Amino acid sequence: MARKNLIGISDSSMPRHETPALNERPIAGLVPQTRSSSPVGGITKTLGSITQKMERAGDLERQLAEGKMVIEIDPALIDASFISDRMEMDGVELAALASQIAEHGQQVPILVRPHATAKGRYQVAYGHRRLAAVKQLGIKIRAVVRELSDEQLVVSQGQENNARANLSYIERCLFARRLEERDFSRATIMAALNVDKQALSKMLIIMRQMSLALVQLIGPAPDVGRRRWMELASHVENADVEALIGALSSADDYQTLSSNDRFQRALDLVTTQKQKPRATTPDIQTSALPVTIKKTATRSTFVFDSKAEPGFDDFVHQRLADLYAEFKGKPTA
């Protein structure tokens, strides 16, 4: 009887019968990975998975910052633009827009930016009407979130309104005035309204001649264009504005008049009103400067000679805020 190798020492003289390795040949070029008994392989895979997730999160953040993604936001977290571009919202049109969104969904997202001072909140660049309609429906709003400077916000806001053509002429004039009051450059205002320098000058002249209270009382007057507003402004400049506002607002049918009709009523009243006499103060020519000052009883107008000194008007305009601050800080005599 053959004696068994009880100790387990191999005998070199004995033939070796090795068991063939399973899957000895890789299938279709697939090289099987050696399974490691060490935990390092599992940790490496886990770290790789975390890295991929971080990269995907970073990609999402970049896409959000660049405005390449549309997300849903609670309307309660969104504030209006810091500059209003609309005098009033038509209730009937707003209800129709809400009904359309309820039936077909919000087809066009609004544009917002992260709020400059309130963390976790947003500020609208454009889409105020869609925001108001969605608030009525009590649903989330689809929005593009993008980092915007103040200049980029107002340009986006104005250009969207220009594209949709849903602001009246006087609302555009008001928008221009509010931008000017916040010291935005003429270039930014022209870009926001998509107008040239001459058209912008006419808008601002109208707003200087008109009473803001009267404009608010009349409303947006969507059917009234530049020429008729210029006509009204030319009359209002020398009219008794308080009497005009009183006559317009106290009329029995004032509440039932449309904004277009209120404009016509104001124009009729001012043209029949006895005009106040113009002040006869002579023009003041500043010595050695290309500026003439025209004074009336209620206002002063600086007229720059652009032919004699081109660009001097813009130079002064850019420094008005500093001049006003210096004036306010000047001790009373």
Q: Could you tell me if 216 and 316 lie in one domain?
A: no
Q: Could you tell me if 172 and 160 lie in one domain?
A: no
Look up the pTM and report it: 0.61
Determine, yes or no, domain membership for 98.
Answer: yes
Of 233, 252, 276, the position where a domain reaches its end is: 276
Determine, yes or no, domain membership for 246.
Answer: yes
Give the C-alpha distances (Å, rounded to integers) separating 270 from 248, 263, 264: 10, 11, 10
Determine, yes or no, domain membership for 7.
Answer: no
Q: Within 13 Å, how many C-alpha atoms sit on residue 246's CB side? A: 6
Q: What is the mean pLDDT of residues 186-215?
A: 94
Q: Could you tell me if 121 and 152 lie in one domain?
A: yes
Determine, yes or no, domain membership for 30.
Answer: no
Q: Could you tell me if 150 and 190 lie in one domain?
A: no
- The CATH number for 242's domain is 1.10.10
Determine, yes or no, domain membership for 82.
Answer: yes
Cα(first)–Cα(last) distance of the chain, in Å?
133
Determine, yes or no, domain membership for 87.
Answer: yes
pLDDT at 292: 80
Q: Could you tell me if 159 and 173 lie in one domain?
A: no
Least confident of 97-106, 232-241, 288-297, 314-323: 288-297
How far is the C-alpha of 127 from the C-alpha of 163, rounded, in Å?
A: 12
Q: How confident is the model at residue 161 (pLDDT cuts 50, 70, 90)?
A: confident
On whether the CB atoms of residues 244 and 259 are closer than 8 A, the answer is no
Query: pLDDT tens digit string along 133-151?
Result: 999 999 999 999 999 999 9
pLDDT at 301: 80
Determine, yes or no, domain membership for 34.
Answer: no
- The CATH number for 63's domain is 3.90.1530.10
Determine, yes or no, domain membership for 241.
Answer: yes
Q: Could you tell me if 99 and 152 lie in one domain?
A: yes
Q: Is 143 left (phi over 0), alpha (psi -120 to 50) or beta?
A: beta
pLDDT at 134: 95
Query: pLDDT tens digit string along 247-297?
Result: 999 988 888 999 999 999 999 999 987 655 555 556 666 667 777 887 765
Give the three-state DSSP class for 144.
strand
The fraction of the chain above a pLDDT of 90, given in percent, is: 48
Tell whether the model's pLDDT for residue 204 goes beyond 60: yes
Say which DSSP state 28 is in.
G
Q: Could you tell me if 61 and 123 lie in one domain?
A: yes
Count of domains in the chain? 3
Burial of residue 145 (CB within 10 Å: 0-12, 13-18, 19+) is buried
Q: Can you name the residues that pair with 145 across neighbouring β-strands? A: 112
Domain that holds residue 144: 53-164
Q: Which amino acid is at 133?
A: A
